[in-house]
A and B are shown apart, each in its own frame.
Chain A
Amino acid sequence: MVTKLRSAVGHMLLYGLLGVVALFTLFPFLWTLRTALSTAGSVFTFPPRFLPEKAGLGNFTEVVRTLPVGRYFLNSVVLTVYGVTGTLAVASLAAYPLARLDFPGRNLLLLALLGTLLLPNEAGFVVNFLTLSQLGLVNTYTGVVLPSLASVVGIFLLRQAYLAIPQELVDAARVDGASEFRIWAQIVLPLSRPALAALGVFSFVAHWNSFIWPLVVLKDPDRYPLAVGLLYLQGLFAHSTRLIAAGTVLAMLPILAVFCFAQRFFLRGLEGALR
């Protein structure tokens, strides 16, 4: 009886602690959602109102109607699709010989790739901007996406997945005369779907969220993705906090949707997938 009571109290304490931390991590989102949903009254009151005076979706329709938020959203979609497909294509190709072929220079290459993860490269983004302007890619989506397209972490992630495929399957295909490209496309890729999905999801989040590099490369505000566009609008219309909050909620929605379906990829830890 006493131990039962003690464990019940322990549980309540534990849940209380977990709840307090969750309140801390989630509060800024809830507060933003509140601001986005409130259609009347002042945004900042003292003491703050935790529930809106009048709630509705008015701010969402208005932000899309009066500010170029719909356009920014589409820009983000285009950039993200470009980035994710590119990342998957480059990494899934590069990982194949590193996992499955014996060729001169392989170990050196693996070492060099590992080196890129360790060597500091703080002046890199300055040089990359100069390179892009030499190539005439400033103010283009190609310029935004290209420097981060070859993901070394992604290559290692897929290489790990390719290594787990039974050698007999590959050998059988070779005996049947299949080319390496066919083996990659028809055997290795379909069997690596979970790893490809994981890389796709990570790269989706990275591209959707990125804002410094697009800000550096894009000169024309009409081409801004949502993350950059919101900061830009915040600077221009410092007064319309409700509308910016609605835009912020719109920027979070795709990320939260992906997170709902692909939680396990994140919560299992990337290094778990790499090991």
Chain B
Amino acid sequence: MRGSRALPLASSRPLLRPRLRTALVAYLFLAPALVLLGVFTFAPLVFGTLLAFADYNILRPPRWVGLENFRILLEDPAFWVALRNSLRYLAVVPAIQLVALLLALLVNRRLAGITLFRAAYYVPVITSFAVAGLMWNWMYAQHGVMNWVGLRLGLLPRPFDWLNHPTLALYAVMLVTFWKGIGYYMVLYLAGLQALPQELLEAARVDGAGRFRTFLSVTLPMLRPTLLLCTLLSTLAAVKVFEEVYVMTGGGPFGQTTTALLYVYQKAFQEFRFGLAAAAGLFVAVIGLVLSLLHVRIFREGGLRPW
């Protein structure tokens, strides 16, 4: 790639000057992006880590406290509740991925009005969490639709206060994550499905494989890169869940639905304990990193290869 894109003029002139000029021009083009990324992306990587070992509340200059923040975290029951909820949230991943994949298979065909259906499934994806939270709060209200459906189907003995239940509230919020997520992953799976070589699928059919067999033995194995990407993105998003919890329960009742990142947010912007917040953030980052490594490993070593 390097050779073909090189400046054609460079060969007929002294080497250094045009090269230097090109470099100068290149970095001028890059300057705004590099400054912004430097200040708001790369610097926080470094300072965020340092901050985790300091006590800082804006009023007084930061003070190095070693591992004190981590000790406070590990002794704070609220932090453990937050971590537990973030890990519990992983339950939403298989649900989203299974339904998104099935939906992708369902809409991956020429059918009158199919683009309308695809669009309908995608609208929640481009909806603000603020709007989604408001709408779903009405759905979950005492006299809301969820209770009505539950009563009609005989699943509930009486109207239920979904968002104020210490354990079920988190699952009620998960449904919103599910609602907002299936369209997004459906589109990714659809792109993966449409990139599959059609000859292979036809060959399987000619060989007499049924639809289900073709799916298991041809489509699914070839879809592995997309599966890896989608499940990884979904896993990380679940561990870092924050917005929907913030708008729907605010972590309540009694902090029982606080998630790890919501805890970080509360420590930083409600209690102004920035060092403690950074330490909690670092904790989540490490968990995310470990989960991604595990995930890639499982996929590579064929934990997902029963066929």
Contact = CB atoms under 8 A, between A and B. Distances in A.
Interface stretch (A52-60, A62-70, A251-259): A251-259
A28 B29 contact: no
Nearest to B277: A126
Nearest to A35: B138
Contacts of A234: 134
A22 B5 contact: no
Contact of A90 (B23, B33, B111, B141): B33
B121 A28 contact: no
Contact of A122 (B103, B183, B243, B288): B288
Given A32-B135, A90-B33, A150-B36, A123 B7 contact: no
A194 B48 CA distance: 37
A124 interface: yes
A131 B127 CA distance: 29
Most buried by B among A44, A105, A256: A44
B134 A230 contact: yes
Contacts of B26: 97, 101, 103, 106
Contacts of B153: none
B220 interface: no
B285 A121 contact: yes
Interface string B259-288: 001001100110000100110011011101
B261 A122 contact: yes
Contacts of B298: none
Contacts of B285: 120-123
B51 interface: yes
B179 interface: yes
Given A25-B179, A28-B136, A31-B135, A259 B123 contact: yes
A47 B148 CA distance: 7
Nearest to B111: A14
Interface string A202-240: 000100111110001000000000011011001000000
A209 B32 contact: no
A126 B261 CA distance: 11
A198 interface: no
A167 interface: yes
Contacts of B251: none
Contacts of A91: 33
Grouping DSSP codes into helix (H, G, I), strand (E, B) and loop, the B interface class, with mixed when no group exceeds half, is helix
B274 A46 contact: no
B148 A48 contact: yes
Interface stretch (B70-78, B90-98, B186-194): B186-194
Interface string A107-133: 001001100100111111111111101
Contact of B121 (A21, A125, A167): A21
Interface string B98-141: 00000100110001000101111111111111111111101101
Nearest to A134: B58
Contact of B29 (A31, A97, A112, A130): A97
Interface string B165-195: 0000000000000010011000110110000
Contact of B106 (A17, A131, A263): A17
A16 to B, nearest CB: 11
A150 B33 contact: yes
Contacts of A27: 139, 145
A29 B135 contact: yes
Contacts of B264: 122-123, 126
B133 A44 contact: no
Interface in B8-54: 8-9, 19, 22-23, 25-27, 29-30, 32-34, 36-37, 39-45, 47-49, 51-52
A31 B125 CA distance: 18
A149 B32 CA distance: 10
Contacts of B242: 212
A131 B51 contact: no
B44 A26 contact: no
B229 interface: yes
A176 interface: no
Contacts of A32: 134-135, 138
27 contacts: A28-B135, A48-B148, A93-B29, A94-B34, A96-B29, A97-B26, A102-B5, A102-B7, A103-B22, A121-B41, A122-B282, A124-B44, A124-B281, A125-B268, A126-B44, A126-B264, A126-B277, A127-B278, A152-B37, A231-B134, A252-B127, A266-B126, A267-B119, A267-B187, A268-B191, A269-B188, A269-B191
9 closest A-B pairs by CB: A123-B48, A123-B281, A209-B128, A97-B26, A44-B143, A94-B33, A120-B285, A122-B281, A269-B191
Given A29-B123, A90-B33, A127-B47, 17 more contacts: A18-B117, A25-B123, A25-B182, A31-B135, A44-B143, A97-B30, A98-B30, A101-B5, A102-B5, A116-B42, A146-B40, A148-B40, A167-B5, A181-B25, A209-B129, A231-B134, A267-B118
